[in-house]
Each structure stands twice: as C-alpha cells, then as structure tokens.
Structure 1
C-alpha cells in the first residue's frame, strides 16, 4: 500500500465542507498554530471534521485526537502518524 499524506490544504477543505468558516476567519491566512476554537471550530464541528477524515482516509481516530492536537499543524502531524501506522500495519 502506498503512503498517503494529509496536508494542511486537505484539512482546510474538510473543515470548509463540514463546518464552513466563521465570519472573519481566513483559512488561507497563517493559521497553522492557531487553536481550533480561536478559528471558530468547536466540538461539534471538530466531530464532523474527524468523521470526514476517517471516512476519506480509512482510519480510525482516537476520541481525544482534537483535545490532544488543538492546532492545524498538530492535527496534520497526528493524522499523518495515523496514515503511517496504516501503511506499516
């Protein structure tokens, strides 16, 4: 199985598809180290985002993945860790 990569652009697309963007939030700006809550994404939006990631990438995320990875940069790294585990399994 070839390695998939999850990018910041993938995350932005999935966030917009699932929850949209809050007024005044520019996902094309420097958001990598901004907390999801500051970007306007609260628990329900993140649950939807997690479900979309799981379906699209064929992975199962831990329940606390968003609590442990509160910024786009941290979440992208975590998702890539899941994808690495999928390839080596």
Structure 2
C-alpha cells in the first residue's frame, strides 16, 4: 500500500496502466482542469483507475466521488482527501 500524497505523476501512471499506454491524452500540469472525456478517458477506464487507486493507496472511493471528479485535479483532490481522513483515523 502506498502512502503520502497522491500526485499527478501517480494518476498518470495508474491511468496508463488502466487504459493502456496508447489510450487517452497525457495527464500533466497543463491538463489538470480538462475533463477526462476530453482527454480520451471513458467511464470504464475511470472505474478501473479508481479500483487501482483504492488497492494501491488503501482507500475507498465510492462511484459518486469517482464520477463527480471529472478532471485530473478533482480526482487528485478527492484521493488526497481520503488519504487525509485515513491518516487521522
């Protein structure tokens, strides 16, 4: 299980593992506020991404949180919020 902060680098790696290296656009600091759909990531890729994040970081992301996080920045913030709750518990 990973610990600490969830970063754009973590998200990029996990998205590529979940969706495949050739699928979707690069997620980086320039695309943090671009919708995942515009980046080429559809709901199945995001579900797989959410599952991988949960396993690797030891958190729970409900479907509502996952699908309300429509941009990389929003998903990173949601994951980090869960990590903060986990650290406090």
Matches within 5 A, 1:1-89: 4-20=4-20, 21-22=22-23, 25-28=25-28, 30-89=30-89
Structure with higher helix content: 2
Structure 1 residues 88 and 61 mapped into 2: Cα distance closer, same or farther (>3 Å)? same
| Contact persistence 2:12–2:26 (CA under 8 A) | no
Q: Which of structures 1 and 2 has the larger relative contact order (alpha carbons within 8 angstroms, sep 6+)?
A: 1
**Greater Cα radius of gyration, structure 1 or 2:** 1
SS in 1 for 2:77: helix
Deviations 1:22-80, CA, capped at 9 Å, x for gaps: 36x23346110000011111110000000000000001111112221100011101100
Aligned length: 86
Decide whether the 8 Å contact of 1:22 with 1:39 is kept in 2.
no
Q: Considering only aligned residues, what root-mean-square deviation do their CA atoms show, in Å?
A: 1.6
Confirm or deny: 8 A CA contact 2:8 2:27 kept in the other structure. Answer: no
Structure 1 stretches of 4+ with a deviation exceeding 6 A read none
Structure 2 segments unaligned to the other structure (5+ residues): none
